[in-house]
Amino acid sequence: MGFDRNTFHRKAVQIPSDEDITEMRSFLVEELRKEGHDPDVDEVGNVLATRGTTDSVGTHLVLNTHIDTVPPHIPYDRSGDVVRGRGACDAKGPLAALLDAFCSASIGTGRLTLATTPDEETSQYGGEHLGETLSADGYIVGEPTGLDVCHAARGGYGGRITIYGESAHASDPTAGMNAINAVGPLLEALEQYDERRGAGQHEVLGKPTLTPTHIEGGGPLNQVPDECTVSFDRRPVPPETSQAFFADLESYLAQWLPDTYEFDVQPAYPDSPDPDAFNTDPDSELVQTLADASGGDIRTFEAATEASYFADDGPTVVFGPGVLADEEGPVAHADREYVTLSEIAAAAEAVQSTVETILS
């Protein structure tokens, strides 16, 4: 009978995986076993299964996506071709398509790996670990792209700039040093960073962005605050890396902020990896083969993904059924999240055709 992707997708969306992915991971492992495969769960919780040759001879392709979702869980609902529910398109729709292709594709002399991560929406330890331990000739990362083949995306990371002053009673503000007073120069500096020091405009991904998103500081209304924190969102373009960016931003701000203030710059999530931007050659075999099979456009992706952890190793694309947003607004991560079963089927067929062409 072959793999039943619609039943798999229904059961996957019905399983909550916004807070705990244990049940979803067990379901995936069991489904792979039913299809005759022998999946492994590695030390950080990734599920991996491999078909084809076990040695290094031949081309190796990796199909990757994630099994976690953002909260809250939204129940499964189907109306004809349309399925709604949390994870319907991000990313259990892509997962159903990739799993179908993994189980169904005819493989010649190459090797095909399915690698799913448990924490793409949060820490991304799984993606980072796969990037360090896998080696392949190409990666297809399942995300909602409307069947377009996305060969590049900006990265994404956040940071916090904490300004230190000196507390005093507000009746005598000159006795202290108000940390909030440094916010004005800081915001001006952030606005001009990319013009003065940034990576510049990328030929594919355009300009990076540096956006202040949160300010926190102060306490009692009658007290001069001795500390204030400005948080920001960074969307980089190549060749910028997170490590280089944070060091350069701190050096740059030292020239802008008044000497009377001390400050520090820290990643918002210091214990988690930060996805950098990536850019795969649009003329590469993987991009062209998948685009021919799907009929979709070749374009950039709108969001940061785990694709960045693989792109230094081999050609990497983001591809799948569903969309991040439509003409009515956000779809993925929204209460109205949906996907069509016909698009999941089309994605599965396109990936299967691509795998068979490259691994023939």
Listed in sequence order, the residues at least 6 apart from 33 whose beta carbon sits closer than 8 Å to its beta carbon are 39
Residues 247 and 300 reside in one and the same domain: no
pLDDT tens, residue by residue, 77-107: 999 999 999 999 999 999 999 999 999 999 9
CATH code assigned at 237: 3.30.70.360
Dist. CA 197–CA 112, nearest whole Å: 42
Where a domain ends, among 242, 267, 292?
267
With a CB cutoff of 8 Å and minimum separation 6, the contacts of 195 are none
Note down the domain range covering 285: 5-154+275-358
> Alpha-carbon distance 304 to 48, whole Å?
23
Could you report the per-residue pLDDT of 106-158, keeping only the tens digit for each? 998 899 999 999 999 999 999 999 999 999 999 999 999 999 999 999 999 99
What digits encode the pLDDT tens for the residues 160-210? 999 999 999 999 999 999 999 999 999 999 999 999 987 789 999 999 999
Same domain assignment for residues 210 and 262: yes
Interval 321-348 mean pLDDT: 98
Decide if pLDDT at 56 tops 70. Answer: no
* DSSP, residue by residue, 298-313: EEEESS--GGGGTTTT
pLDDT tier for residue 27 given thresholds of 50, 70 and 90: very high
Percentage of the chain with pLDDT > 90?
91
pLDDT at 61 over 80: yes
| Residue 287 binned pLDDT confidence (cut-offs 50, 70, 90) | very high
Res 186: pLDDT: 95
Are 33 and 139 in the same domain?
Answer: yes
Amino acid occupying residue 317: V
Task: Quote the percentage of the chain above a pLDDT of 70.
Answer: 99
Contacts of 351 (CB under 8 A, 6+ apart): 63, 97, 98, 101, 105, 140, 290, 293, 319
Q: The CATH number of the domain where 49 resides is what? A: 3.40.630.10
How many angstroms separate the CA atoms of 244 and 246, rounded? 6
Query: Structure tokens of 335?
Result: 């209460």
Query: Is residue 85 a contact partner of residue 50, using CB atoms and an 8 Å limit?
Result: no
What integer is the mean pLDDT of 234-262?
92
C-alpha to C-alpha distances, 277 to 28, 92, 151, nearest whole angstrom: 30, 24, 11
**pLDDT, position 270:** 87
Bridge partners for 330 per DSSP = 325
Q: What confidence score (pLDDT) does residue 257 get? A: 87
**Total domains present in the chain:** 2
Report the pLDDT value the prediction gives residue 305, as an integer from 0 to 100: 94
Q: What is the mean pLDDT of residues 324-331?
A: 97
Q: Are residues 240 and 251 in the same domain?
A: yes
Do residue 144 and residue 22 come from a single domain? yes
For the full predicted model, state whether its pTM sits above 0.85.
Answer: yes
> Residue 1's pLDDT is what?
60
Band (246; pLDDT cuts 50, 70, 90): very high
- What average pLDDT does the structure give for the chain? 95
Q: What are the residues whose beta carbons fall under 8 Å from the beta carbon of 3, sequence distance 6 or more? A: 35, 99, 100, 103, 104
**147 in the same domain as 173:** no
Q: Residues 112, 209: one domain?
A: no
- Do 283 and 148 belong to one domain? yes
**Domain end among 267, 292, 315:** 267
Counting every residue written for the chain, the total comes to 360
